[in-house]
């Protein structure tokens, strides 16, 4: 029943329910005119004190973010980014950069709390199958914030994102389950196809199902 219901839902999660196109005008604007994009070779011309990298170009998805943090106010005064990714990843990171540097710059505390939903709301929505693309930017941002804290000597503020072990045999974490759901795995069978979770430790399956429900509600509202 649940899978049939999902198939009938529109592919686009849009803030404005009257919009029916796949990408909002805001998304298209940030894709064709990305803000704060770092051109190749310009790294040496940008002063930064925090650098974050997630993914790999070899895997098709990569995000790199440079941040310029005011050490006194602990706020982001400027930033730059590069990505190997799709239009949704480009638009999402462009909007993220805009949000980080608005007004006098976002504090590191608030920046660390940014969620993909916050970015998507400003974009006017993204296709459901592309929501996982918006996660690249905020992950790279958190890595850059950790990098700043590390070099600034604020070791106690560094937050690890290793995840909690769910399948202790195959070493699969809740982060692995989250990634699978973001990439469209909305049932236990689909999550298992992506991660093999539960094949090593079947006793974890009830918790896996609970996590799937949680992440579906968190990211898709279902």
CA-to-CA dists, residue 145 to 6, 34, 51, 76, 79, angstroms: 36, 22, 8, 10, 12
Grouping H, G, I as helix, E, B as strand and the rest as coil, residue 170 is coil
**Residue 133 catalytic?**
yes
Q: What is the C-alpha to C-alpha distance for residues 119 and 218, in angstroms, rounded to an integer?
A: 14
The one catalytic residue among 79, 86, 133, 204? 133
Nearest to 81 by CA among 59, 58, 100, 104: 100
Q: Determine whether 86 is an active site residue.
A: no
Cα separation, 112 vs 139, in Å, equals 9
CA dihedral (54, 133, 160, 79) positive or negative: positive
Q: Would the CA dihedral through 127, 173, 159, 140 be positive or negative?
A: negative
DSSP E strands, 40-132? 50-56, 61-70, 75-84, 126-127
Q: Which of 59, 79, 86, 204 is catalytic?
A: 59
Q: Where are the beta strands (DSSP E) in 48-168?
A: 50-56, 61-70, 75-84, 126-127, 165-167
Q: Which residues are catalytic?
A: 59, 133
């Amino acid at each position: 029943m649940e899978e049939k219901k999902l198939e009938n839902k529109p592919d686009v999660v849009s803030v404005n329910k009257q919009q029916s196109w796949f990408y909002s005008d805001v998304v298209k604007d940030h894709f064709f005119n990305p803000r704060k994009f770092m051109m190749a070779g310009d790294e040496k011309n940008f002063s930064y004190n925090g650098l974050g990298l997630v993914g790999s170009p070899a895997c098709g998805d990569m995000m790199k973010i440079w941040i310029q943090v005011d050490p006194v106010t602990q706020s982001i005064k400027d930033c730059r980014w590069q990505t190997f990714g799709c239009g949704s990843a480009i638009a999402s990171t462009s909007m993220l950069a805009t949000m980080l540097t608005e007004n006098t710059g976002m504090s590191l505390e608030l920046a660390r709390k940014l969620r993909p939903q916050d970015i998507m709301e400003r974009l006017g929505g993204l296709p459901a199958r592309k929501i996982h693309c918006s996660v690249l930017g905020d992950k790279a941002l958190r890595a850059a914030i950790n990098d700043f804290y590390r070099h600034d000597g604020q070791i106690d503020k560094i937050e690890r994102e290793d995840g909690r072990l769910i399948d202790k045999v195959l070493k699969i974490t809740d982060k692995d389950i989250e990634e699978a759901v973001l990439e469209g795995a909305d049932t236990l069978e689909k999550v298992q196809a992506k991660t093999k979770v539960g094949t090593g430790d079947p006793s974890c399956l009830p918790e896996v199902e609970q996590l799937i429900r949680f992440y579906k509600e968190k990211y898709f509202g279902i």
